[in-house]
Amino acid sequence: MIIPKVVLVGAGSVVFTQGLLADLFTFPELRTAHIALHDIDPERLATAEAATRYIAGQRGAAPKVTAHADRRAALADADFVINLVQIGMVEATRTDFEVPARYGLRQTIGDTLGIGGIFRALRTFPFLKALGEDIAAVCPGAWLLNYTNPMAMNVQYLTEATGLRRVVGLCHSVHWTVHDLCRLVNAPVDEVNFLAGGVNHQAWVLRFEHDGEDLYRRLDALIADDPELRRRVRVDIYRRLGFYPTETSEHSSEYLPWYLRHRSEIERLRLPVGAYLDIVDENLVAYEKTRDALAAGTGMPVEGTMEYAPQIIHSITTGTPRTVYGNVPNRGLIENLPAHGIVEVPCLVDGSGVQPTRIGPLPPQLAALNRAYLSMNDLVVRAALEDEPRHIRHAAMVDPATSAALRVEQIWELCDDMVRAHADRLEPALRATLGT
């Protein structure tokens, strides 16, 4: 068994880094791994290094830990690269909410679709291209495990712009959705047979069974008896489409035209408009507490998060087979979705790598929604690959929530304002303002 080198790019996302490392060091075979940390913020990099050494001590691990301001130095000879980068950090995220809000456009999380998702992708793509070039140059056999949102757009761009093939996008939404459903219907999660598939943040629980029992029938009874349960967007989606979505109500409301446009629906379904700004503030406070605790030598909680990246690293390194959910190019895995789109499907992982599972066609009502999602993604990727600023506007025009809320002239004006606000983070050809 090799001793792997694992590189965390954007390791200054310390709260997430902590959970990943706590999971990684749970595996005895990985406790001597080389953990290489990279971040462009010196303070956050130093905090990530201190956190890594502390977590290793708490887990009884003895890894080799290195910290690098230079990305290529960190990546040299890597076996696994975990991308955690958020380009623009808090400032850019606030822009993603504040500028659209002036047009009356409501967002809750703003990191996957919609105006927020479009511009988060466009400012991330230049970094992804540079990261891909670095990997090709210094660790061409490495697996790139991406956590950065917007997941599907980023993975599509990586595979089309860089030529990398060992790219998997990872998200915990399927895992925690199934756990939450099992808790709701009082079923033991380790014994439940389930299958999910679709696109990231809009996949669907296609099968949900225990000992031959369809657990959806239990869920139906609970929903019928509990009016408060019916005040959740994902429950509303399930009641109308017949399959439970794998992302929270806050996220799910943004990918459809039916909810955020209407004040009455926001109140009925208790939707927290602008919720992600509170999450950003909470993450900043959590980072500062971790930084200060490490500096004072008082320690911090070390809790695992059941993330997929450590499981993948363990399976490939040791040959231990397991199934995870990954975001990968479709290429026939879901036959009624576009072949070039990025889909979320179960993947077998072992010593041979990550092998996606074909799940066949989705029910037509689910595929219809996923196709709209992937069409918008493709326009954003095409904007970057073809240096075509009009495609930014085209993507916003076909985005379900944006097109439901704004007139087409407003959409173009909003895109111009967002381009101005983010101009220094966009590729030069995409900085043009086009008017209405």
- Residues acting as catalytic residues: 172
Nearest alpha-carbon partner for 383 in 426, 327, 328, 325: 426
Of 93, 84, 111, the closest CA to residue 18 belongs to 84
CB 315 within 8 A of CB 165: no
For 156-166, b where at least 16 C-beta lie within 10 A, e where not — what string? bbbbbbbebeb
**β-bridge pairing 143-146 and 193-199:** unpaired
User: H-type helices in 88-113, by residue range?
Assistant: 89-101
- Which residue intervals of 172-274 are DSSP H helices? 173-185, 215-225, 233-241, 249-253, 263-268
Cβ-Cβ contacts under 8 Å for 182 (sequence gap 6 or more):
188, 189, 192
Residue 303 has phi, psi (to 5 degrees) of: -125, 135
Round to whole Å and give the CA distance between 11 and 15.
9
Asked if 356 and 347 count as a contact pair (C-beta separation under 8 A), the reply is: yes
Q: How far does CA 34 lie from the centroid of its chain?
A: 25
Provide the CB-side half-sphere exposure for 11 (13 A, CA): 31
Asked if 301 and 145 count as a contact pair (C-beta separation under 8 A), the reply is no
Cβ atoms < 10 Å from Cβ of 21: 32
Number of neighbouring beta carbons within 10 Å of residue 226: 12
| Rounded-to-integer distance, Cα 167 and Cα 80, Å | 10
Query: Quick one: which of 77, 71, 74 has its CA closest to 141?
Result: 77
Burial 366-384 (b: 16+ CB within 10 A, else e): bbebbbbbbebbbbbbbbb
Q: Are the C-beta atoms of 321 and 173 separated by less than 8 Å?
A: no
